Structure 1
Amino acid sequence: MHQIADLISIFDSTFYQSHNTRLIKGEHEPIYTPANEHTSYHQIVFAHGFYASALHEIAHWLVAGDKRRLLEDYGYWYCPDGRDASQQAEFESVEVKPQAIEWALSAAAGFDFNVSVDNLNGEQTCRFDFQARVHQQLIQFLDDGFNPRTSALLNALSKFYNTPWPLSTAQFLWQHPQELCNGV
């Protein structure tokens, strides 16, 4: 049901002309590269053809402002898996907005969403505490409205996948399982 070619087509038809940006299936780690002397368009390269990876990388692009979209990987430094507690807290703080948008994109596409703490070999953290922060941000976006690029893609995904539009907070009811975070 969720073909990567469909997502690429939806993204390109929504943003290629207006933002000179294309979604690219990569073979390795994801990366965002602005247009340069070798490629005339900006590229959101997602990992290994995975649908979830594409949604996540799109979400980062949707968060990034005009100036950030002119920088490789939006000018951010990525601290890889194996982060200590302080590094993990910083990682999670910058991932809240993109993952909230990714959750909305997933719902619009009728695709299951799971938060990612992306630190299998580092300090243990409670995924549900992070999910609660992502959920709170998602509800805030739903109440305040998404930026125009995000709204355009959410609408395009909802039309293609025939999911409810507009999105509502009722679609995102979630209860924090406190008992699962004791001991982490």
Structure 2
Amino acid sequence: MKHDIDDLIAIFNHQFSESENTLLVRGEDEPVYLPANNQYPYHRIKFAHGFYASALHEIAHWCIAGKERRLLEDFGYWYAPDGRNAQQQAEFEQVEIKPQAIEWAFCVAAGFKFNVSADNLSGIDVDRAAFKAKVYHQVGEYLRCGFPKRAQQFITALQQFYDRDNKLQINQFVLKDCTAQAEGNRDQNPDRPVADAPTSPLETACYV
């Protein structure tokens, strides 16, 4: 299936240019969210280097940001760059769980491959499988309790454009990395239960 970034821009802008006064814009450098000002009447989500995956990720962050934060550059957050220490990495992962769960849903809705992003190339080693397990469980909670309103609107728009199933199911989200890690732990100590294997995210309760 072809995934053209111009299609994605058109889908987003059709959904939100009027209702949210927000445009998705191809960027040439690092991604950034820019609120409207005297020069630009629209809020702008600028994604990196024309990459489809970057656009989905930035849209996911926008779907979570509240009304007041959407009036601030980059939603008023400071992002620790690559090279994070253990505490910075833990904080980074905590604020990335929900956006990446939404991004994963966007990918499934569009038939696009999802890659979890917890990389910290110049800092401490990152347990990508453990982080992906947390994102996976958040997906399950969203499937039970509902996605944020704008996220669900965009999911539906992607499904319609790419002619995908109208209802997301947990079996569309594959957790290969975490399964492999859990099996590896069991092989090292076959008498120990596989405590690291994630339970079904659909067994979790809804928290409002």
TM-score by length of 2: 0.84
Instruction: Give SS of 1:99's match.
Output: helix
Equivalent position of 2:132 in the other structure = 131
Equivalent position of 1:57 in the other structure = 58
8 Å CA contact retained: 1:108, 1:157:
yes
Count residues with an aligned counterpart. Answer: 182
For residues 75 and 22 of structure 1, the distance between their equivalents in structure 2, rounded to whole angstroms, comes to 19
Q: Name the aligned partner's letter for residue 119 of structure 1.
A: N
Output aligned runs, 1:113-124, within 5 Å.
113-124=114-125
Q: CA deviation at 1:38?
A: 1.3
Cα deviations by residue, 1:4-55 (Å, 9 ceiling, x for unpaired): 0000000000000100000000000000010011100000000000000000
Q: CA deviation at 1:181?
A: 8.2
Question: Which 5+ residue runs of structure 1 have no aligned equivalent?
Answer: none
Cα deviations by residue, 1:49-93 (Å, 9 ceiling, x for unpaired): 000000000000001111111110000001000001110010000
Equivalent position of 1:164 in the other structure = 165
Question: Which 5+ residue runs of structure 2 have no aligned equivalent?
Answer: 186-208
For residues 65 and 34 of structure 2, the distance between their equivalents in structure 1, rounded to whole angstroms, comes to 13
Q: CA deviation at 1:178?
A: 2.1
TM-score by length of 1: 0.95
8 Å CA contact retained: 2:35, 2:73:
yes
Q: Confirm or deny that 1:178 pairs with 2:181.
A: yes
Q: CA deviation at 1:171?
A: 1.5
Q: Name the aligned partner's letter for residue 63 of structure 1.
A: I
Instruction: Give SS of 1:18's match.
Output: coil
Equivalent position of 2:99 in the other structure = 98
Cα deviations by residue, 1:139-170 (Å, 9 ceiling, x for unpaired): 10011001221111000000001111121222
Output aligned runs, 1:22-101, within 5 Å.
22-101=23-102
CA RMSD in angstroms comes to 1.4
Instruction: Give SS of 2:18's match.
Output: helix
Q: Name the aligned partner's letter for residue 181 of structure 2.
A: Q
The structure with the largest alpha-carbon Rg is 2
8 Å CA contact retained: 2:119, 2:126:
no
Q: Name the aligned partner's letter for residue 169 of structure 1.
A: I
Equivalent position of 2:202 in the other structure = none
